[in-house]
Amino acid sequence: VCIHRVRSCSSIHFIKSKYVCVFDKSALKFSHQQRLFRTSAVSCGQIVQFKLSDIGEGITEVTVKEWYIKEGDSVSQFDSICEVQSDKASVTITSRYDGVIRKLHYSIDDIAFVGKPLVDIEIDASKGVAPEEDVVETPPMSHEEHTHQEIKGHKTLATPAVRRLAMENNIKLSEVIGTGKDNRILKEDILNYLAKQTGAILPPSPKAEIVPPLRKTETVPAAPKDKARKIPVPVSRPIAFSGKDKTEPVTGFQKAMVKTMSAALKIPHFGYCDEIDLTQLVQLREELKPLAELRGVKLSFMPFFIKAASLGLLQYPILNASLDENCQNVTYKASHNIGVAMDTEQGLIVPNVKNVQVCSVFDIAVELNRLQSLGSAGQLGTSDLTGGTFTLSNIGTIGGTYAKPVILPPEVAIGALGKIQVLPRFNGKGEVFKAQIMNVSWSADHRIIDGATMARFSNLWKSYLENPASMLLDLK
Amino acid sequence: MVLQSLKNCLWLSCVLRTPKACFWSTASGGLIIQSVSNDVYQNLAVEDWIHDHMDLEKQQVLFLWRNSPAVVVGRHQNPWQECNLRLLRQKNIKLARRRSGGGTVYHDLGNINLTFFTSRKKYERMANLKLIVKALKALRPQLDVHVTDRYDILLDRQYKISGTAAKLGRTSAYHHCTLLCNADKFVLSSVLKSPYKGLKSNATPSVPASVKNLFEEDPSLTSEMLLDAIAKEYAMQHQIDHHINLINPADETLLPGISNKTKELQTWEWVYGKTPKFSVSTCLNMAYKDSVLDVKVNMDVKHGRIEGCHIDLPEQWLPPGLYSELVKSLTGSKFCPNETTSLVTTLLRVCPQDDELHSRWSLLCENMIMLM
């Protein structure tokens, strides 16, 4: 720690001796006038050539590999400027100054030389010579005010990092009590000020810096040393949220979804919902699960839903069709390639199980397992993701009851399955019993599908699932 | 007891307002730590943490770690150029990018990693490597091992058993190296061979070398023995206790902020996005019906994303609208098979439902995806 202090002192000394002559009264006057206009773009700062320092091991040249800043960016002391490489060593070059980058002397992949200029940094005049030291700043004023007010020589001392924190929280430094040397405003003072405003304890800053409690309790209750400064009366003032909006381009999976859903908009959707009593199916699955596990396969409800859908499609093939662009022809697809919506880390993906019409429930389970593991590993192939003719979305695994699914073109129907809930229902004898109820929400293309067809298909699908034994009769 | 002194240390360092923490007792000039984790990202995160937060002026650190199968590329390298990404995905081998320079290496539990942390001024790779050689010779005097001026360690004057890389920051530095004890050489050579053709880039290339395991030279050697021998030599040279402190890279209390570092190392933006700009210029040989089509493809990839793409297809092979849709979709997307698959299969949904068209599209897209 002592070393740290000494280092910063010596660097200040170094800068002072070289540049102190520049900051005479005339320079100050100029910047004084500039404050009236509250602009920060133009400043008559000194341009310093920041040279590439010694890398060690007798190395004289390195390759510039990446710039972290560009011309015009503001940097603070210790900010990373670039990454250079020399013989298997990657070196992060950090800035020695606060200022604005005015020139990069090298492009990516250029050879840079130790001791030669790397970047030109314009040290901001109004910020003073030595970074991390006191910074002179005036309280913010409105444009109208400047003609009526004179600067009263009101100095507020704070480091650039502290000033940034104050600015982010819309705090006037003049209203903050400084507890540092010469009434310098420290970061703790800003945090205290904010805490007083809201009466809350603020969480510690995300960096590893820990605010020592000792200093705070000792110095805060002390009376302000500067008589001219008043302690502001705490007015209920909302803390300005310092988060910023983030805009990024739509790419990848999101882009795919945008394309699909925009195309789906052209389809006039209608919905049809129902509830299914899965009590018997739940029992059946319990019995079959261990059998499937013996064969190394995880058996969920989906294979049953999928197979039942395929049986239904045999009776109502129009739901497994496709309407051409001009709505002139309907193509009845021979294969039942039933898509299963999957939620992966990257987003929504819909692989399909091919030819369900000739698959057993077990075959479907095997295929689902394969698609699921490929899907989570991000390794699904194009054949898995194309050729779908009908889709089921088991949103119930996440939650929800009824939904309004969107048809995936070029298909004409889709079903969303809600979660299975245990609900009271009446049986044939008028008794209340525990039923395993799941809701289904169908959407279909109203250009070629009518409500009656959808309803009948749904009833058939429902009957297979409510009475699984009936599936045996129609299995091919 | 160790934990208590740690807390005191942390407290002290806070008052002094530096972001660096001192770990264990500051009395000794050295510290030996070993990771209990075999996760490459967690272990790389520990290196980052020590580099960013520890005051290495007074205390140097030796960090010992091993990883389950992973390929680690250097900071400025191109993974597509360096390894067989397809094979990695198939075999579930992780891909990581470290912050130090140098070339690509394959890690598995038969390989040990050693990181020497020092202050920036005390950065000295040769001394570290000589320490390792000294330790190896102390363990097995008959071993013919020596350090080259490329900072490799060679066995029998011809086989590389260790590769080196380093990272220098403002005030601290680290030098790390591998040491082949009993790694799977077959997997190593197959994953470090890139199948991707036509890549042009200024990324740091790796220098391939013949490798050999120390185990092959002397089957009585194990990773544990080697770790111990090196720790002993380090302890002797730094005049400290020959005690290896185990650390858990998942311990957020001991290493505050480590989980964020671990997460960052796993992001696509870091692993693939930090690849220096490169271009792909190759020819797809697509067998279609009775002929073979030669299709020239040119792509520019920046930050791991496709910046420009041009495919030289025979005229009218694809409807022009669809071709431009393909190029538009690819532009700005990750140079990644998963993302590209998702995009191209989506495009099929919104184009005319024509079997011929679909089969051409699938053929082209599958070939394009093979480039990634």
Cis amide linkage into residue A410, ω under 30° from 0:
yes
Domain of A168: which CATH number?
4.10.320.10
Please say which residue of B232, B256, B272 terminates a domain: B272
Place of tokens 């999928």: A306
Interface check A208 vs B, CB under 8 A: yes
Chains A–B, number of C-beta pairs less than 8 Å apart = 160
Task: Determine whether the interchain pair B305/A346 forms a contact, defined as Cβ–Cβ distance below 8 Å.
Answer: no
Say yes or no: B192 and B301 in one domain: no
Say yes or no: B194 and B118 in one domain: yes
Number of CB atoms found within 10 A of residue B54's CB = 18
Q: Which range of residues forms the domain containing residue B282?
A: 278-371
Which residues lie across from A53 on neighbouring strands? none
Closest of A236, A257, A309, A351 to residue A463, by C-alpha? A309
Under a CB-based contact definition with an 8 Å cutoff, are residues A313 and A320 in contact? yes
Say yes or no: B267 and B171 in one domain: yes
Specify if B23 maps to a domain: no
CA distance B209 to chain A (A): 16
Number of CB atoms found within 10 A of residue A310's CB = 24
Task: Determine whether the interchain pair B342/A4 forms a contact, defined as Cβ–Cβ distance below 8 Å.
Answer: no
Query: C-alpha angle A19/A22/A27, rounded to 5°?
Result: 140
Q: Which residues contact A340 (CB under 8 A, 6 or more apart)?
A: A302, A306, A350, A351, A352, A353, A368, A371, A391, A392, A393, A394
Please say which residue of A75, A95, A123 terminates a domain: A123
Please say which residue of A197, A226, A260 terminates a domain: A197
Residue-by-residue pLDDT tens, chain B, 372 positions: 444 444 444 433 333 323 334 455 555 688 999 999 999 999 999 999 999 999 888 889 999 999 999 999 999 999 999 999 999 999 999 999 999 999 999 999 999 999 999 998 888 899 999 999 999 999 999 999 999 988 999 999 999 999 999 999 988 999 999 999 999 999 999 999 999 989 999 888 998 899 999 999 999 999 999 999 999 999 999 988 888 999 999 999 999 999 999 999 999 999 999 999 999 999 998 888 888 889 999 999 999 999 999 999 888 888 888 888 899 889 999 999 998 998 898 888 888 778 888 889 989 999 999 999
Query: How far is it, in rounded angstroms, from Cα B61 to Cα B235?
Result: 10
* Predicted pLDDT at A153: 40
Say yes or no: A300 and A417 in one domain: yes
Residue type, A309: A
Query: How far is it, in rounded angstroms, from Cα B76 to Cα B274?
Result: 7
* Predicted pLDDT at B356: 87
Buried b (16+ CB within 10 A) or exposed e, A382-411: bebbbbbbbbbbbbbeeeebebebbbbbbb
Say yes or no: B192 and B327 in one domain: no
Say yes or no: B352 and B212 in one domain: no
Of A88, A212, A257, the CB nearest to B101: A88
**Can you read off the two tokens belonging to residue A69?**
């800043």
* Predicted pLDDT at A453: 96
Task: Determine whether the interchain pair A379/B202 forms a contact, defined as Cβ–Cβ distance below 8 Å.
Answer: no
Residues in chain A with CB shorter than 8 Å from the CB of B346 are 256-257, 259-260
Say yes or no: A176 and A298 in one domain: no
Specify if B71 maps to a domain: yes
Task: Determine whether the interchain pair A90/B57 forms a contact, defined as Cβ–Cβ distance below 8 Å.
Answer: no
pLDDT digits (tens, 9 = 90+) for A109-122: 999 999 898 899 88
Binding-face residues of B in 5-64 toward A, CB within 8 A: 10, 13-19, 21, 53, 57
Mean of per-residue pLDDT scores for chain A:
78
Residues in chain A with CB shorter than 8 Å from the CB of B345 are 256, 382, 385-386
H helices present in chain B, as ranges: 2-15, 40-53, 79-82, 85-91, 125-139, 185-191, 214-217, 223-238, 258-266, 268-271, 320-330, 337-349, 355-370
pLDDT digits (tens, 9 = 90+) for A266-313: 999 999 999 999 999 999 999 999 999 999 999 999 999 999 999 999
Query: How far is it, in rounded angstroms, from Cα B72 to Cα B284?
Result: 29
Domain of B355: which CATH number?
3.30.390.50
C-alpha dihedral, B1 to B7 to B13 to B16, nearest 10°: -120
Query: How far is it, in rounded angstroms, from Cα B50 to Cα A396?
Result: 45
Say yes or no: A290 and A437 in one domain: yes
Say yes or no: B236 and B304 in one domain: no
Under a CB-based contact definition with an 8 Å cutoff, are residues A116 and A49 in contact? no
Specify if A80 maps to a domain: yes
Please say which residue of B253, B272, B291 terminates a domain: B272
Under a CB-based contact definition with an 8 Å cutoff, are residues B139 and B230 in contact? no
H helices present in A85-212, as ranges: 145-148, 160-168, 187-198
Of A92, A252, A385, the CB nearest to B339: A252
Residue A411, H or E segment: none
Burial class (CB in 10 A: 0-12, 13-18, 19+), B361: buried
Binding-face residues of A in 291-350 toward B, CB within 8 A: 322, 324-325, 331, 346-347, 349
Domain of A97: which CATH number?
2.40.50.100
Say yes or no: B232 and B349 in one domain: no
Total number of domains in chain A: 3
**3-state secondary structure (DSSP) of residue B282:** strand
Query: C-alpha angle B177/B178/B183, rounded to 5°?
Result: 175
Of A211, A251, A379, the CB nearest to B332: A251
**Can you read off the two tokens belonging to residue A216?**
């705070």
Per the residue annotation, which of A110, A324, A450, A474 is the catalytic one? A450
* Predicted pLDDT at B304: 94
Say yes or no: A442 and A328 in one domain: yes
**Can you read off the two tokens belonging to residue B111?**
């390989």
**Can you read off the two tokens belonging to residue A145?**
């005010």
Q: Can you list the residues of chain A whose pLDDT is less than 70?
A: 1-44, 125-157, 160, 175, 177, 179-183, 194-237
Place of tokens 């903050």: A176
Say yes or no: B284 and B196 in one domain: no
Q: How far is CA B101 from the centre of its chain?
A: 10
Strand-pair category, B245-247 with B30-35: parallel
Say yes or no: B102 and B251 in one domain: yes
Interface check A385 vs B, CB under 8 A: yes
- Number of helices (H) and strands (E), helices first, in chain B? 13, 16
Burial class (CB in 10 A: 0-12, 13-18, 19+), B94: middle
Domain of B264: which CATH number?
3.30.930.10
Binding-face residues of B in 249-268 toward A, CB within 8 A: 256-257
Say yes or no: B252 and B293 in one domain: no
* Predicted pLDDT at A180: 67
**Can you read off the two tokens belonging to residue A14?**
């170094």
* Predicted pLDDT at A230: 60
Domain of A347: which CATH number?
3.30.559.10
Q: What sign for the dihedral angle of Cα B70, B75, B81, B86?
A: positive
Task: Determine whether the interchain pair B75/A85 forms a contact, defined as Cβ–Cβ distance below 8 Å.
Answer: yes
Interface check B307 vs A, CB under 8 A: no
pLDDT digits (tens, 9 = 90+) for B160-208: 999 999 999 988 999 999 999 999 999 999 999 999 989 999 888 998 8
Rg (CA), chain A: 35
Binding-face residues of A in 64-103 toward B, CB within 8 A: 65-66, 78, 83, 85-92, 94
Specify if A435 maps to a domain: yes
Query: How far is it, in rounded angstroms, from Cα A177 to Cα A183?
Result: 7
Task: Determine whether the interchain pair A385/B165 forms a contact, defined as Cβ–Cβ distance below 8 Å.
Answer: no
Say yes or no: A317 and A439 in one domain: yes
With left for phi above 0 and alpha for psi between -120 and 50, is residue B304 left, alpha or beta? left
Number of CB atoms found within 10 A of residue A255's CB = 20
Task: Determine whether the interchain pair B168/A251 forms a contact, defined as Cβ–Cβ distance below 8 Å.
Answer: no
Query: How far is it, in rounded angstroms, from Cα A273 to Cα B140?
Result: 76
Q: Among all residues of chain A, which has the CA nearest to that of B54?
A: A208
* Predicted pLDDT at A182: 61
* Predicted pLDDT at A181: 60
Burial class (CB in 10 A: 0-12, 13-18, 19+), A8: middle
Q: Which range of residues forms the domain containing residue A308?
A: 269-473
CA distance B92 to chain A (A): 9
Number of CB atoms found within 10 A of residue B190's CB = 14
Please say which residue of A123, A146, A181 terminates a domain: A123
Q: Which residues contact A33 (CB under 8 A, 6 or more apart)?
A: none
Residue A237, H or E segment: none
Burial class (CB in 10 A: 0-12, 13-18, 19+), A107: exposed
Specify if B11 maps to a domain: no
A13 is a catalytic site residue: no
Of A55, A210, A255, the CB nearest to B168: A55
Say yes or no: B69 and B152 in one domain: yes
Specify if B3 maps to a domain: no
Say yes or no: B201 and B153 in one domain: yes
* Predicted pLDDT at A157: 63
Could you give the ipTM of this predicted complex?
A: 0.83
Query: How far is it, in rounded angstroms, from Cα A395 to Cα A444?
Result: 18
A336 is a catalytic site residue: no
C-alpha dihedral, B205 to B210 to B216 to B218, nearest 10°: -90
Task: Determine whether the interchain pair A1/B16 forms a contact, defined as Cβ–Cβ distance below 8 Å.
Answer: yes
Query: How far is it, in rounded angstroms, from Cα A377 to Cα A388?
Result: 21
**3-state secondary structure (DSSP) of residue B105:** strand
- Longest CA–CA separation in chain A, Å: 102
Closest of A277, A256, A299 to residue A386, by C-alpha? A256
Please say which residue of B272, B294, B325 terminates a domain: B272
CA distance A455 to chain B (A): 26
Which of B124, B345, B357, B363 to substitute to test the interface with A, most A CBs within 10 Å?
B345
| Backbone angles phi and psi of B19, in degrees to 5 | -75, -5
* Predicted pLDDT at A27: 42
- Number of helices (H) and strands (E), helices first, in chain A? 13, 19
Of A90, A208, A252, the CB nearest to B76: A90
Q: What sign for the dihedral angle of Cα A94, A95, A101, A106?
A: negative
Which of A162, A258, A345, A382 to substitute to test the interface with B, most B CBs within 10 Å?
A382
pLDDT digits (tens, 9 = 90+) for A410-453: 999 999 999 999 999 999 999 999 999 999 999 999 999 999 99
